[in-house]
């Protein structure tokens, strides 16, 4: 009897597993804000792959990797690149403003779902001693100049904390350094409450370089 019960329990769980798979493969219900990764993949392959690679692991250091980035952060950035009613976009990038122009809110959700599901390729820091200085800053901040540790918001392993705090681990150092400089000069000013502007305005150029180098090799 025990054995029979076990077998029927297994049968039930197999049936449940199968039916949930079927649900996962059907289109999301109208009004659902989860996004359809398969539809996102079509746009990613046709439009975005040239610069971000088909799976979002960019091989060009100036272009950010998107693989494994949180959907919420990707959606926010794509909306921030949009220029509405001729007003300047909240996040400035001539390339990306042109890219997002034809995208609907649904396309943007689908792209967020697609990239969030891709597996990020781990990176390797090129300059080990610079990366070591960067690690101290990433994990401990700089008490003298009131720079907080990055871990508090971006997590110790750089995977970030959705919905607000982006994943950083393995990102190209060239891209990260460019963004940190842009936050410092407020060329990028789409960070809520100026959080990244305040932090980077307390950092030296050397510190920006060191932490960018460390992040490029940070693994989860």
The CB-side HSE value for 176 (13 A sphere, CA atoms) comes to 25
> Does residue 153 interact with ligand HEC by CB under 6 A?
yes
Q: Which of 4-12, 13-21, 23-31, 95-103 is the region at the interface with ligand HEC (rule: CB under 6 A)?
A: 95-103
* Stretch 3-42 residues interacting with ligand HEC (CB under 6 A): none
Under rule CB under 6 A, residue 166 binds ligand HEC: yes
List, in order, residues 6 or more apart from 68 with CB less than 8 Å away. 56, 115, 116, 118, 119, 120, 159, 167
154 labeled binding residue: yes
Q: Which is nearer to ligand HEC, 15 or 132 (CB)?
A: 132
State which of residues 37, 125, 180, 210 lies at the interface with ligand HEC (CB under 6 A): 180
169 binds ligand HEC (CB under 6 A): no
Q: Binding string to ligand HEC for residues 96 to 135, with x set by CB under 6 A, is what?
A: x--x-----------x------------------------
CA atoms of 114 and 141, how far apart (whole Å) = 33
Asked whether residue 197 is marked as a ligand-binding residue, the answer is no
Should residue 89 be labelled a site residue for ligand HEC when binding is judged by CB under 6 A?
A: no
Could you list the residues known to form a binding site for heme c, using ranges.
48, 51-52, 96, 150, 153-154, 196
Binding site, by residue number, is 48, 51-52, 96, 150, 153-154, 196
Residues making contact with ligand HEC (CB under 6 A) = 43, 47-48, 50-52, 62-64, 66, 74, 76-78, 93, 95-96, 99, 111, 147-148, 150, 152-154, 164-166, 168, 176, 178-180, 190-192, 195-196, 199, 211
């Amino acid at each position: 009897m025990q054995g029979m019960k076990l077998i029927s329990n297994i049968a039930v769980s197999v049936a449940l597993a199968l039916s949930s798979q079927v649900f996962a493969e059907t289109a999301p219900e109208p009004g659902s804000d989860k996004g359809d990764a398969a539809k996102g993949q079509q746009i990613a392959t046709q439009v975005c792959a040239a610069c971000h690679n088909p799976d979002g692991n960019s091989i060009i250091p100036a272009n950010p990797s998107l693989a494994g980035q949180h959907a919420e952060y990707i959606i926010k950035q794509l909306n921030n690149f949009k220029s509405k009613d001729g007003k300047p976009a909240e996040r400035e990038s001539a390339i990306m403003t042109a890219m997002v122009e034809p995208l609907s809110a649904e396309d943007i959700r689908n792209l967020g779902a697609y990239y969030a599901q891709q597996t990020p390729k781990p990176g390797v820091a090129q300059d080990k001693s610079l990366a070591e200085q960067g690690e101290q800053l990433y994990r401990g901040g700089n008490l003298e100049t009131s720079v907080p540790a990055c871990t508090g918001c971006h997590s110790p392993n750089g995977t970030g904390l959705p919905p607000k705090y982006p994943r950083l681990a393995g990102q190209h150092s060239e891209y990260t350094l460019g963004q940190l400089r842009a936050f410092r000069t407020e060329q990028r000013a789409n960070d809520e409450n100026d959080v990244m502007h305040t932090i980077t305005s307390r950092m030296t150029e050397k510190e920006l370089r060191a932490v960018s180098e460390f992040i490029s090799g940070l693994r989860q």
